[in-house]
Amino acid sequence: MEFPGLFNYWVAVVLMMAGFYIVIAQGNLIKKVVGLNIFQVSVFVFYISMGKVKGGTAPILDEGIQLYSNPLPHVLILTAIVVGVATTALALALVVRIRDAFETIEEDETDALEAEDEAR
């Protein structure tokens, strides 16, 4: 049962890396934020996966159920999701400001404009 046993984690890893790639390789500032979100959501998937107990149910106490999935990762991820959204909101606000100041949201273009500032 080795292979299916780890399959979930692998999916999470692949997704993480897709997000990570978007963050570091893409030049568009909004898309970077999207990448960041994908990256984070994948980490959440990873957390939830480890909380799952085979045959368990959602951790809501009820008569007659013996096996529950682990509630702690759920709690952590609830927090993390909110933190992630906060970060996203802030990042997007920054993007709006950058757009105001530089009239572009492409990284290479802001870099060029910054170099001009430097030369002044």
Partner 1 sequence: MAVTAFGLIRIRNLFAVAMLFGVFSLVAALLYVIMDAVDVAFTEAAVGAGITTVLMLGTLALTSSVEKTHGPRNLLAMAVVLVTGAGLIYGTLDMPAYGDPDAPIHRHVADRYIGKSGAEVGPPNVVTSVLASYRGYDTLGEVTVIFTAAVGVLILLGRGRGRHTRRRPEDEPELWRGDERRLRDHRETEL
Partner 2 sequence: MTPHLPVLQVVIPLMAAPICVVLRQATAAWLLATGVTWSAFAISLMLLSQVMDGGVISYELGGWVAPWGIEYRVDPVSALVLVIVSAIGSVVMPYAKKSVEAEIAEDRIYLFYTMYLLCLTGLLGIAITGDAFNLFVFLEVSSLSTYVLIALSHERRALTAAYRYLIMGTIGATFYIIGVGMMYMMTGTLNMADLAQRLPEVAETRTILVALAFLTTGISLKLALFPLHVWLPNAYAFAPSVVTAFLAATATKVAVYVLIRIFFTVFGGVDVFVGLGAGKALMLLALVGMVAASVTAVYQDNVKRLLAYSSVAQIGYMILGISLVSVTGLTGGIIHIFNHALMKCALFLVLGAVSLRLGTVRLQDMAGLGRRMPLTMAAFVLAGLSLIGVPLTVGFVSKWTLLQAALEKDLWLVAAAIPVTSLIAVVYIWKVVETAYFRPVPHGAAEISEAPASMLVPIWIMVFACLYFGIDATWTLDVARSAAILLLGGAP
Q: Which is nearer to partner 2, 62 or 116 (CB)?
A: 116
Partner whose footprint covers residue 114, from partner 2, partner 1, none (CB < 5 to 8 Å by kind): partner 2
Q: How far apart are CA 50 and CA 76, in angstroms?
A: 12
Residue 39: CB atoms within 10 Å: 19
Which among partner 1, partner 2, none contacts residue 110 (Cβ within 5 to 8 A by kind)? partner 2
In the list partner 2, partner 1, none, the entry touching 112 (Cβ below 5 to 8 angstroms by class) is: none
Contact criterion met (CB below 8 Å) for 80 and 68? no
What x-and-dash track marks residues 93-112 binding partner 1 by CB under 8 A? xxxxx-x----xxx-xx---
Residue position matching structure tokens 């008569």: 63
| 30 is an interface residue for partner 2 by CB under 8 A | no
Say which residues have a Cβ less than 8 Å from residue 70's Cβ, sequence separation at least 6.
50, 51, 52, 53, 59
Task: Tell the burial category of 55 from Cβ atoms under 10 Å away from its Cβ (0-12, 13-18, 19+).
Answer: exposed
Kindly list the residues in this chain that would bind partner 2 in the complex (CB under 8 A).
Answer: 16, 20, 23, 29, 32, 36, 39-40, 43, 46-47, 50, 72-73, 76, 79-80, 83, 86-87, 90-91, 94-95, 97-98, 101-102, 110, 114, 117
